[in-house]
């Protein structure tokens, strides 16, 4: 009988080594696109369930595709709620992206839901996919899950910016992730991504995270933005989404056809 192994968390490995990691969002729920992202050389894919109809069964298929292609599956959960976190982890998510985390208490809640005891209170089931359906000793699985699962909290409001130092101090938060769209809206600058005040705010988030030795990620609409924020100190660069990339390719095709 072959013994199943746990996949390497490529994203965590690169960030721990001080190397930037590149990835993209997945909105469509198409496993083939996850494989393409992995084979193309991206480090991670963020499987979105906040702004999409993707359910737990679909997420499971997407996570399988990610493991096959050697790309880290990050799941953005619908909300910072233990049941949503549990479902994403039980199907094999290696990292969680928690939206709308505005305080240290909310960050602590996410960590508790994501980690088994003594670090947290994650619901335990030793026969789920993440546990390799019971083919791995439970204690070994629990240790691997606590060691390898990443908790990434989104900073996307001025409340989160005000409380950032306390959020960064929460044990178990592996990274903060800047959501530019919601942050711009919270600042009364919706969509004004080149606004100087907005950009200063993002620079401030990055600087405070680096000072606290916490990794920081950001959504970038295009590669030029990713290069800019990488130079500014961002570690985790999520560039576009499958829908954005496909739309751009189709627009270029139509243009080239005349």
Phi-psi domain of 151 (left: phi exceeds 0; alpha: psi -120 through 50; beta: other): beta
Q: How many angstroms separate the CA atoms of 228 and 236, rounded? A: 13
Q: What does the block give as tokens for 74?
A: 């990050």
| Active site annotation includes 51 | yes
8 Å CB contact between 79 and 97: no
Q: Which of 16, 51, 165, 227 is catalytic?
A: 51
Side-chain-side CA neighbours of 120 within 13 Å: the count stands at 27
Maximal CA-CA distance, the chain: 62
Which candidate, 41, 24, 34, places its Cα nearest to that of 58? 34
Q: How many angstroms separate the CA atoms of 229 and 206, rounded? A: 9
With H, G, I as helix, E, B as strand and everything else as coil, classify residue 169: coil
Beta strands 236-241 and 72-76 are unpaired
Active site amino acids: 51
């Amino acid at each position: 009988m072959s013994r199943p192994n746990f996949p390497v968390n490529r994203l965590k490995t690169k960030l721990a080594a001080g190397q930037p990691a590149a990835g993209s969002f997945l909105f469509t729920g198409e496993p083939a696109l996850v494989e393409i992202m992995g084979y193309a050389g991206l480090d991670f894919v963020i499987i979105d369930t906040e702004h999409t109809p993707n359910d737990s069964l679909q997420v499971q298929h997407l996570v399988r595709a990610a493991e096959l292609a050697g790309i880290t599956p990050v799941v953005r959960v619908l909300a910072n709620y233990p049941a949503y976190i549990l479902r994403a982890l039980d199907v094999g998510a290696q990292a969680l992206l928690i939206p709308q985390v505005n305080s240290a208490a909310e960050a602590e809640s996410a960590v508790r839901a994501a980690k088994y005891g003594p670090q947290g209170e994650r619901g335990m089931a030793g026969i789920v996919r993440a546990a390799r359906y019971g083919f791995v000793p439970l204690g070994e699985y629990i240790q691997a899950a606590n060691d390898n699962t990443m908790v990434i909290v989104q900073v996307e409001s001025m409340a989160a910016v005000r409380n950032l130092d306390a959020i960064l101090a929460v044990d178990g938060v592996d990274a903060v992730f800047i959501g530019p769209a919601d942050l711009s809206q919270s600042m009364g600058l919706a969509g004004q991504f080149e606004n100087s005040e907005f950009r200063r705010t993002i620079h401030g988030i990055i600087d405070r995270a680096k000072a606290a030795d916490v990794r920081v990620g950001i959504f970038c609409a295009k590669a030029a933005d990713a290069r800019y924020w990488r130079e500014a100190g961002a570690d985790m660069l999520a560039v576009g989404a499958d829908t954005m990339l496909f739309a751009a390719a189709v627009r270029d095709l139509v243009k080239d056809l005349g």
